[in-house]
Structure 1
Amino acid sequence: MNLFQWLKPPKRAKAPDLTPDQRLRLSELPRPAALNAKSLRQQRWVVLDLETSGLNMSRDEVLSIGAVVIEDGAIDLAQQFERTLLRPDHKLNPSVLIHGLGPSAIAAGSEPVDALLDFMAFVGDSPLLAFHAPFDQHMIGRALKESLGYRLQHPFLDVAELAPLLFPKACLRQAGLDDWTAFFGLHAEERHHASADAMVTAELALILFSHARRQEMDSPIQLEQGLAKWRRRQQSHSF
């Protein structure tokens, strides 16, 4: 590389080609609310699960989105979201088959821009919960950036961290969703399916919220502060 090439500014990503209606919908999305001191019962939460084409956060893609809402201290079955983000011409691959997304699901898939706009309208200004949240946060954030030019700024809390924080005696420090659902006697109707995994994650979150209140962490901000202390303890124990 010569000096002039080195001095060249990096190429900007091409702005997504949105229709006027899509741009209007994008502009009307509410701004995310910061985590606050209201009670956990008063907070509306969106519980998210994604199915992806793999675990490479730079290369793999979101295949489907499943989400449910926790509101007034319960799962609101009237507020559920499910979309497959595959085009009809999307080639089948092993990961698609694992997630149960066969030809009929692909044929019914939503165009990514509209599906992601629908999802963010569903989320509104609410914080999100997910199991292994950093992965879901990165993947959905990347999809939103690439398809909409939208920067995801909603707070995420990780149920995989909340569980050992609130139940340290369970000795399931690096456990998966199956381990924690078995620990609490929960049952997922259909694993590796975004909507079913979002539902069982929401059930797990409600159990954790109940125990958080007993431990005087009865607000989103208190949960976040508790997680920050827990992470510092984990880091100190690893040295």
Structure 2
Amino acid sequence: MKRSILFDTETTGLDPATGDRVIEIAALELVGDLPTGRTFHTLIDPERDVPEEASRVHGFTRADLEGKPKFAEVADDFLAFVGDDPLIAHNARFDFGFMNAELKRAGKKTLGLDRMVDTLDMARERFPGMPNSLDALCRRFGVDLSARTTHNALLDCKLLADVYVELMGGRQHGLGLMAEDGQLPSVMYEGPMNRKVVRVQPTPQELAAHAAFVAGLKEPIWEH
């Protein structure tokens, strides 16, 4: 089944070109668009101050980050975790911009933009003209926001995973019906709202078993 990585960052500010740095990375593995429980998470020493206005957003101060690894020390672990799979983020251009600035500074291969899946773009297409922040989407889909008092990257990943499932069609997306060879034993087509719809094809043995079951029923209504 398809593997993808949902990730989020927290930073010292809004623009890596002016010296802002990443202070937290969280990533969460999805298989078949559902979380597997595997995560990557680290705090990072940004090697600079953390402005007060940024601390008000994510709750981290410079003192919280002292002694944490520098980005170059965790870059290889992050790249190994994400592999070559699609990368999902909310307002992904922001996170890609910061991560690629850090990777370039560390002398590592940057993330290709062809891997980018932006849930903000997905939400704007589905809900044009409506608020599509992560908070707004959580409220729209009934995702519990009670723990989100600040912008914590790992918590935001977990919230976004629930939102992403809904944007992709809900918890029954794909139905998880897999044959022994790993393929869907069915016809798949695009239904309303671009959702994947699975039409299961019964095997001859299943059809025979069903016919035998129906034959034992008293006046089954679907035979009239």
What TM-score, normalized to structure 2? 0.68
1:155 to 2:112 alignment: no
In 1: Cα distance, 2:194 partner to 2:155 partner: 30
Q: Name structure 1 gaps, 5 residues minimum.
A: 1-41, 219-239
Counterparts in 2 of 1:40-55, with a 5 A limit?
A: 42-55=1-14
Which one is further off, 157-166 or 198-207? Answer: 157-166
Partner of 1:185 in structure 2?
142
1:75 to 2:32 alignment: no
Higher radius of gyration, 1 or 2: 2
Q: Name structure 2 gaps, 5 residues minimum.
A: 174-189, 197-224
Cα pair 1:67 1:199 within 8 Å, conserved: no
Deviation (angstroms), 1:136: 0.7
In 2: Cα distance, 1:208 partner to 1:75 partner: 14
Cα pair 2:4 2:33 within 8 Å, conserved: no
1:206 to 2:171 alignment: no
> Pick from 97, 103, 117: which aligns with 1:138?
97
Counterparts in 2 of 1:75-114, with a 5 A limit?
A: 75-77=35-37, 79-86=38-45, 90-94=48-52, 95-96=54-55, 98-102=57-61, 105-114=64-73
1:127 to 2:86 alignment: yes
Higher strand share: 2
In 1: Cα distance, 2:28 partner to 2:137 partner: 19
Identity of aligned residues (%): 24
CA pair 202-108 structure 1, distance change in 2 beyond 3 A: farther
What TM-score, normalized to structure 1? 0.64
In 2: Cα distance, 1:54 partner to 1:90 partner: 11
Q: Provide the aligned length of Structure 1 versus Structure 2.
A: 172
What is the aligned-residue RMSD (CA, Å)? 2.4
Higher helix share: 1
Of structures 1 and 2, the one with the larger relative CO (CA 8 A, separation 6+) is 1
Deviation (angstroms), 1:113: 1.0
In 2: Cα distance, 1:103 partner to 1:137 partner: 23
Which one is further off, 120-129 or 92-101? Answer: 92-101
Secondary structure, aligned partner of 1:67: strand
Deviation (angstroms), 1:148: 2.4
CA pair 69-63 structure 1, distance change in 2 beyond 3 A: same
Q: Give deviations 1:192-236, integer Å, cap 9, x for gaps.
A: 101011111111001111168644455xxxxxxxxxxxxxxxxxx
